[in-house]
Amino acid sequence: MKRLGAPEPVIVAKPGHPISRRDIDPDALKILFRLYQHGFTAYLTGGAVRDLLLGKPAKDFDIVTDARPGQIKKRFANAYVIGRRFRLAHVHFSGGKIIEVSTFRRAAENAEEQSPEGESVPANPYGTPGEDAFRRDITINALFYDVITDTVIDYVEGLKDLARRIVRVIGNPAEKFMEDPVRIWRVLRHSARLGFTIEEATEKAIPSHVHLLCACSGARLYEEFNKDLAYETRPVIEALRKYGILGRILGKAGENYENDAGLFSRLSSLLEIEDRARTAGHQLSLEEMYALIFWPWLGPLLAENRVDLHKNLSDAFSNAGMRMSLPRSVRANIIQILVIVRAMDRALRTGRMRWSLLRRAHYQQASRLFFLIFKERPADKEESFTKLLEQAFPSGLKRWKRRRRRPRDHF
C-alpha cells in the first residue's frame, strides 16, 4: 500500500467538542496521566472518542501511546504484553476490566509486509500519531483525544464525517480491504449501529471484496462475530446478510438465512426483542446469543420427534461448513441450551416433561432464552419457567414425577 503522508492534524479545543474527563473511565485516565508523567504521549482513541463525540457513553477505552509495549509493562505492574503479530499491552484492573494500550503504528508499505491472513505486518511496525491514524479502518474511528490539553486531534477528517454521519474507509477502500478483509465487516457494523451512510467509494468496493473474508482464520471470524453479539445485534446481522457475508461465515446456517426471507425475518424479530431487552438491562450471555442466532435455522430439526436431538444438532453443525470456528465447548453448550428450550416448549404445551430437566446445568440459560423466544420479552425478576408450568398445570407436579419412571422421553 502506498504510504500515506500525515498532514497537520485538525486540533479542536473546548468548547468545540463535548468530551469531558468525567465521561472517561477513571482507570483509563490513570493510565493516560501515568504515561504523561513518564514523558510519553498518550491519547484515548477508537470507539470511545467516536461515541463520546456523538454524546453516547463509551463502551471500552482504547489508549494509544508512543511508549513501546515493553516500556508500558515496566511502568504498570498490572500490564501484560500480548499479541503475536502486533504486540500491545493489556492493563488489568479489578472486576476483570482490561484496558488495551497500543503503540502508535504505521501501515505496511509493500506486499512482503502482508501476513498470510491479510493484515499488514511491517518489519518495524511503529510509527507517528499521524501514521497511526492513517493505518486505522474508518475515519470516525481514527480520532484521538488528548486528556492533558483537552483537545480532539483529527488527521483523517473524521470530525467532518461524524458531522455528516458517514462511514468512510481511510485511504483507498480496495487496498484497505485487501490488506484486511475484516474491515468490510467493520464498515458494515459501524454504519448499521450508528445508522450512518456508507460513503460511495467505500460502498462500491465492498461487493468485489467480500469473498476475501473466506481467507480469514476461523478464530478471527469467531472473535468478530462475538463483537456483533455484544450489543445492537439486529442491524449488523441484517447488513451482513445484505452483502452475502452471513453465508460466508456461518456456512449452511448463513445460506439458509440469506435464501429464506421468512426464516431470516424470524431471526431478525428475535434479535430485535433481545436488542430491546438488552437496553433494559437484560443481557444474554454469549452462548445464549449464539443459541438465539441458531434457533430459527435448527427449527425443523428441533421439531422432530423420537430422535437423538443432541446427535442431530451436532451433525447439523458439523455439516454446515462454517468458516467461523465455534469452539467445541461453546457448540456443546449451545446444543444443550437449545434442547432444553425445546423441551420447555413441549412441556408447556403438553404438560409432559422429564423431571430431571429442572436440574440440568443449562436450565437457567434455557429459561432466559425461552422467555425471549416464546414470550417475546425477558422474564421479570419473580418469573421463571417453573412458575409458568405451575400456572399452566396447577396439579401437574405429581404427574411429572410419575412420568419420570416411564421409558426415556426423547427431547
One of 23, 38, 47, 266 touching ligand ATP (CB under 6 A): 47
| Residue placing its CB nearer to ligand ATP in the complex, 224 or 383 | 224
Q: Output the smallest distance, CB 277 to Mg ion, in A.
A: 23
| Residue placing its CB nearer to ligand ATP in the complex, 181 or 247 | 181
Q: Is 60 a catalytic residue?
A: yes
The one catalytic residue in 62, 146, 154, 180 is: 62
Binding-site ranges for Mg ion (CB under 5 A): 46-47, 60
Q: Give the Cα separation of 271 and 273 in Å (integer).
A: 5
Phi first, then psi: what are they for 17, rounded to 5°?
-140, 155
Give one word for 263, left, alpha or beta, with left for phi > 0 and alpha for psi -120 to 50.
alpha
Binding segment for ligand ATP (CB under 6 A), chosen from 12-20, 175-183, 244-252, 268-276, is: 175-183
The one catalytic residue in 23, 25, 51, 60 is: 60
Q: Give the Cα separation of 43 and 35 in Å (integer).
A: 10
Chain position whose Cβ is nearest to ligand ATP: 47
One of 59, 74, 164, 399 touching ligand ATP (CB under 6 A): 59
Q: Give the Cα separation of 207 and 37 in Å (integer).
A: 47
Output the nine-digit C-alpha cell for 19: 468530551
Radius of gyration of the chain (CA): 24
Q: Is 51 a catalytic residue?
A: no
Q: Of residues 177-206, which lie at the interface with ligand ATP (CB under 6 A)?
A: 180, 182-183, 186
One of 23, 25, 60, 345 touching ligand ATP (CB under 6 A): 60
Q: Output the smallest distance, CB 373 to ligand ATP, in A.
A: 26
Q: Is 27 a catalytic residue?
A: no
Q: Residue 285, exposed/middle/buried by CB under 10 A (0-12, 13-18, 19+)?
A: middle
Q: How far is CA 208 from CA 90, 170, 197, 213, in A?
A: 36, 18, 19, 11
- 268, 229, 254: which is closest to 322 by C-alpha? 254
Chain position whose Cβ is nearest to Mg ion: 47
Identify the helix (H) or strand (E) that includes residue 37.
helix 26-37
Binding site for ligand ATP (CB under 6 A): 46-47, 59-60, 62, 136-137, 141-142, 180, 182-183, 186, 227
Q: Which sequence positions are flagged as catalytic?
A: 60, 62, 137
